[in-house]
Chains A and B, each alone.
Chain A
Amino acid sequence: MTNPFRKERKFIGEFLAEWSIRIVASLSIVIIFLIFFFVFREAASLFTTMNVGTANSKTETPAPRSADAQAAAPEQYSAETYGDAPETYGESDGAAEQYNPAVEVEPLPGTNILTPLNMNYPEIYNPETGSLPADINDPTPMGTFSVTEQPLSLWENLTSNVWQPVGVQPKFGMIPLLIGTAKTTVIAILLGAPLGILAAIFTAFFAPARVRNIVKPAIELLAGFPSVVVGFFCLVTVASFIQDNFDNTFRLNALVGGIGLALAVIPIVYAIAEDSLSAVPRTLWEASLALGSTKWQTAYRVMLPAAAPGVFAAVLLGIGRAFGETMIAIMATGNAALNSWSAFAPARTFAATIGSEMGEVVWGSEHYGVLFLLGTILFVVSFSLNAVTELYVKKRLIKRFQGR
Chain B
Amino acid sequence: MQTFTGHIPYSKKVLGFFAVMVALIATVAILGIIVGMIGDFIIEGGPNITGAFLTEFPRNSNTEGGIFPALIGTTFLVMIMTIMGVPIGTATAIYLSEFAKQDSVFARSVRFAVNTLAGVPSIVFGLFGVGFFVQFLGKGLDNATGSSSFGDGSLLWASATLAVLTLPVVIVSVEEALRAVPRELREASLALGATRWQTIVRVVLPNAVSGILTGSILAVGRGAGEVATILFVGVTYSAEQLPGSITDKFMHLGYHLYVLATQSPDVDKTLPLQYATTLVLLALTFTLNFSAIFVRSRLRRN
Contacts and interface: CB of A to CB of B under 8 A. Distances in A.
A116 B124 contact: no
A14 B40 CA distance: 55
A215 interface: yes
15 contacts: A28-B110, A28-B117, A38-B128, A115-B263, A116-B62, A119-B265, A199-B26, A225-B37, A226-B224, A226-B225, A227-B228, A235-B261, A351-B121, A358-B126, A371-B127
Given A17-B197, A232-B257, 17 more contacts: A21-B95, A24-B88, A31-B113, A38-B136, A42-B130, A195-B26, A206-B23, A217-B293, A221-B34, A224-B289, A229-B282, A295-B20, A320-B119, A355-B228, A358-B127, A382-B119, A383-B119
Given A21-B91, A266-B30, A331-B262, A221 B128 contact: no
B192 to A, nearest CB: 14
Contact of B20 (A113, A124, A206): A206
A123 interface: yes
Nearest to B16: A296
Given A129-B267, A226-B281, A39 B293 contact: no
Interface in A319-353: 320, 323-327, 330-331, 351
A219 interface: yes
Contacts of B24: 202, 206
Interface stretch (A58-66, A384-392, A396-404): A384-392
B259 interface: yes
Nearest to B114: A28
Interface in A162-216: 194-196, 198-199, 201-203, 206-207, 215
A1 interface: no
Q: Could you tell me the dominant secondary structure of chain B's interface residues?
A: helix
B23 A202 contact: yes
B166 interface: no
B257 A372 contact: no
Given A28-B167, A38-B131, A226-B281, A11 B120 contact: no
Contacts of B173: none
B134 to A, nearest CB: 9
Among B23, B37, B109, B125, the most chain A Cβ lie within 10 Å of the Cβ of B23
Contacts of B53: none
A326 B122 contact: yes
Nearest to A22: B95
B124 A382 contact: yes
A144 interface: no
Nearest to B118: A386
Interface in A1-42: 11, 14, 17-18, 20-22, 24-29, 31-32, 34-35, 38-39, 41-42
Contacts of B178: none
B104 to A, nearest CB: 11
B197 to A, nearest CB: 4
Interface string A209-245: 0000001011101101111111111011100000000
B19 A215 contact: no
Contacts of B250: none
Nearest to B13: A294
B31 A215 contact: yes
B94 A21 contact: yes
**Chain B interface residue count: which class?**
35 or more
Contact of A11 (B40, B122, B195): B195
A299 B21 CA distance: 13
Contacts of B267: 126, 128-129
B228 A26 contact: no
Interface stretch (B181-189, B204-212, B229-237): B229-237
A131 to B, nearest CB: 8
Given A29-B113, A119-B61, A224-B286, A351 B123 contact: yes
B106 A228 contact: no
B302 interface: no
Given A375-B127, A387-B116, A225 B31 contact: no
Contacts of B115: 386, 390
Interface string A252-284: 000000000001001000100000000000000
Contact of A236 (B236, B238, B271): B271
B226 A226 contact: yes
B124 A378 contact: yes
Nearest to A328: B228
B164 interface: yes
B196 interface: yes
B262 A330 contact: yes
B171 A354 contact: no
A375 B254 contact: no
A297 interface: yes
B88 A26 contact: no
A39 B132 CA distance: 8
A116 B259 contact: yes
Interface in B217-231: 221, 224-228, 231
Among B231, B236, B268, B282, the most chain A Cβ lie within 10 Å of the Cβ of B231
A116 B225 CA distance: 22
B159 interface: no
A47 interface: no
B105 to A, nearest CB: 11
Interface string A295-332: 11101100000000000000001001001111100110
Interface string B246-260: 000000001101110
Contact of A358 (B12, B19, B231, B266): B231
